[in-house]
Amino acid sequence: LMPGKLENSKLNSLGYLSGKVHGLLKQRLSDKLSEQNIPLKAVHYPVVSRLWKTDDVTQQTIAEWMNFDRHRTSRLVDELEDIQVVERHSNAANKREKRIQLTEYGKKLQAPVMQIVGESLDDAMKGMGKEEKEAGIVFLQKVVQNLI
Protein backbone atom coordinates (compact mmCIF):
# COMPACT_ATOMS: atom_id res chain seq x y z
CA LEU A 1 0.00 0.00 0.00
CA MET A 2 1.29 3.40 -0.95
CA PRO A 3 1.11 6.09 1.78
CA GLY A 4 -0.44 8.58 -0.65
CA LYS A 5 -3.26 6.17 -1.46
CA LEU A 6 -4.41 5.96 2.17
CA GLU A 7 -6.04 9.40 2.33
CA ASN A 8 -9.85 9.46 2.25
CA SER A 9 -10.24 5.71 2.11
CA LYS A 10 -11.41 2.94 4.37
CA LEU A 11 -7.73 2.13 4.89
CA ASN A 12 -7.71 5.02 7.38
CA SER A 13 -10.57 3.49 9.35
CA LEU A 14 -9.69 1.80 12.66
CA GLY A 15 -12.78 -0.41 12.35
CA TYR A 16 -11.92 -1.55 8.84
CA LEU A 17 -8.24 -2.09 9.59
CA SER A 18 -8.79 -3.96 12.86
CA GLY A 19 -11.31 -6.26 11.15
CA LYS A 20 -8.97 -6.77 8.20
CA VAL A 21 -6.00 -7.61 10.46
CA HIS A 22 -8.17 -10.05 12.43
CA GLY A 23 -9.39 -11.80 9.27
CA LEU A 24 -5.97 -11.97 7.65
CA LEU A 25 -4.29 -13.31 10.80
CA LYS A 26 -6.99 -15.99 11.16
CA GLN A 27 -6.51 -17.00 7.52
CA ARG A 28 -2.71 -17.04 7.81
CA LEU A 29 -2.88 -19.18 10.96
CA SER A 30 -5.38 -21.61 9.42
CA ASP A 31 -3.27 -21.92 6.26
CA LYS A 32 -0.06 -22.57 8.20
CA LEU A 33 -1.76 -25.13 10.45
CA SER A 34 -3.13 -26.90 7.38
CA GLU A 35 0.30 -26.89 5.68
CA GLN A 36 1.70 -28.71 8.72
CA ASN A 37 -1.21 -31.20 8.74
CA ILE A 38 -2.43 -29.91 12.10
CA PRO A 39 -6.22 -30.31 12.11
CA LEU A 40 -6.91 -27.17 14.17
CA LYS A 41 -8.53 -24.08 12.70
CA ALA A 42 -7.89 -20.52 13.85
CA VAL A 43 -11.23 -20.50 15.71
CA HIS A 44 -9.97 -23.41 17.85
CA TYR A 45 -6.75 -21.67 18.88
CA PRO A 46 -8.15 -19.43 21.67
CA VAL A 47 -9.76 -22.43 23.37
CA VAL A 48 -6.81 -24.79 22.99
CA SER A 49 -4.29 -22.16 24.09
CA ARG A 50 -6.29 -21.54 27.27
CA LEU A 51 -6.60 -25.29 27.89
CA TRP A 52 -2.80 -25.61 27.67
CA LYS A 53 -2.70 -23.28 30.69
CA THR A 54 -5.83 -24.46 32.52
CA ASP A 55 -6.86 -27.98 31.56
CA ASP A 56 -10.06 -29.67 32.77
CA VAL A 57 -12.60 -26.86 32.69
CA THR A 58 -16.35 -26.80 32.26
CA GLN A 59 -17.93 -26.23 28.90
CA GLN A 60 -19.51 -23.12 30.48
CA THR A 61 -16.01 -21.78 31.23
CA ILE A 62 -15.10 -22.15 27.56
CA ALA A 63 -18.31 -20.31 26.61
CA GLU A 64 -17.28 -17.45 28.89
CA TRP A 65 -13.71 -17.36 27.51
CA MET A 66 -15.02 -17.18 23.94
CA ASN A 67 -18.13 -15.10 24.67
CA PHE A 68 -20.16 -17.78 22.85
CA ASP A 69 -23.62 -19.10 23.61
CA ARG A 70 -24.10 -22.71 24.79
CA HIS A 71 -24.89 -24.07 21.34
CA ARG A 72 -21.94 -22.47 19.59
CA THR A 73 -19.63 -23.62 22.39
CA SER A 74 -21.00 -27.14 22.16
CA ARG A 75 -20.32 -27.21 18.39
CA LEU A 76 -16.77 -25.93 18.93
CA VAL A 77 -16.09 -28.59 21.57
CA ASP A 78 -17.65 -31.20 19.24
CA GLU A 79 -15.18 -30.17 16.53
CA LEU A 80 -12.23 -30.42 18.92
CA GLU A 81 -13.48 -33.79 20.13
CA ASP A 82 -13.88 -35.04 16.54
CA ILE A 83 -10.22 -34.30 15.81
CA GLN A 84 -9.23 -35.91 19.13
CA VAL A 85 -7.81 -32.75 20.70
CA VAL A 86 -10.17 -32.76 23.71
CA GLU A 87 -12.33 -35.20 25.63
CA ARG A 88 -15.66 -34.37 27.23
CA HIS A 89 -16.53 -35.94 30.58
CA SER A 90 -19.50 -35.63 32.90
CA ASN A 91 -18.79 -34.21 36.33
CA ALA A 92 -19.27 -36.95 38.95
CA ALA A 93 -20.97 -34.49 41.31
CA ASN A 94 -23.20 -32.94 38.63
CA LYS A 95 -23.96 -35.18 35.65
CA ARG A 96 -25.32 -32.27 33.59
CA GLU A 97 -22.02 -30.38 33.83
CA LYS A 98 -19.57 -31.26 31.06
CA ARG A 99 -15.85 -31.04 31.77
CA ILE A 100 -13.38 -30.59 28.94
CA GLN A 101 -9.84 -31.95 29.03
CA LEU A 102 -7.05 -32.05 26.49
CA THR A 103 -6.10 -35.45 25.13
CA GLU A 104 -2.44 -36.47 24.98
CA TYR A 105 -2.56 -35.52 21.31
CA GLY A 106 -4.00 -32.11 22.22
CA LYS A 107 -1.15 -31.56 24.68
CA LYS A 108 1.45 -32.58 22.07
CA LEU A 109 0.14 -29.94 19.66
CA GLN A 110 1.24 -27.07 21.92
CA ALA A 111 4.83 -26.73 20.68
CA PRO A 112 4.14 -26.91 16.93
CA VAL A 113 1.07 -24.69 17.17
CA MET A 114 2.87 -22.05 19.23
CA GLN A 115 5.69 -22.10 16.66
CA ILE A 116 3.17 -21.49 13.88
CA VAL A 117 1.43 -18.71 15.83
CA GLY A 118 4.80 -17.01 16.36
CA GLU A 119 5.63 -17.30 12.65
CA SER A 120 2.23 -15.86 11.71
CA LEU A 121 2.73 -12.86 14.01
CA ASP A 122 6.28 -12.39 12.70
CA ASP A 123 4.88 -12.38 9.16
CA ALA A 124 2.34 -9.74 10.16
CA MET A 125 4.97 -7.44 11.68
CA LYS A 126 7.68 -7.94 9.08
CA GLY A 127 9.59 -4.74 8.37
CA MET A 128 8.59 -3.05 11.63
CA GLY A 129 11.12 -1.90 14.19
CA LYS A 130 10.87 -2.61 17.90
CA GLU A 131 9.57 0.88 18.70
CA GLU A 132 6.92 0.64 15.99
CA LYS A 133 5.71 -2.73 17.31
CA GLU A 134 5.64 -1.47 20.91
CA ALA A 135 3.74 1.68 19.89
CA GLY A 136 1.20 -0.44 18.02
CA ILE A 137 0.67 -2.67 21.05
CA VAL A 138 0.28 0.32 23.37
CA PHE A 139 -2.21 1.88 20.96
CA LEU A 140 -4.30 -1.30 20.79
CA GLN A 141 -4.17 -1.74 24.58
CA LYS A 142 -5.58 1.76 24.98
CA VAL A 143 -8.36 1.06 22.48
CA VAL A 144 -9.27 -2.13 24.35
CA GLN A 145 -9.18 -0.34 27.70
CA ASN A 146 -11.44 2.39 26.36
CA LEU A 147 -13.99 -0.20 25.24
CA ILE A 148 -14.17 -2.43 28.33
Which has the closest alpha carbon to 39: 74, 80, 88? 80
By mean pLDDT, which of 33-42, 54-63, 105-114 is the weakest?
54-63
What's residue 91's pLDDT? 79
Which has the closest alpha carbon to 70: 57, 84, 58? 58
What's residue 10's pLDDT? 73
| Average pLDDT taken over every residue of the chain | 90
pLDDT of 5 strictly over 60: no
Quickly state the pLDDT bin for 3 (edges 50, 70, 90): low
pLDDT of 22 strictly over 60: yes
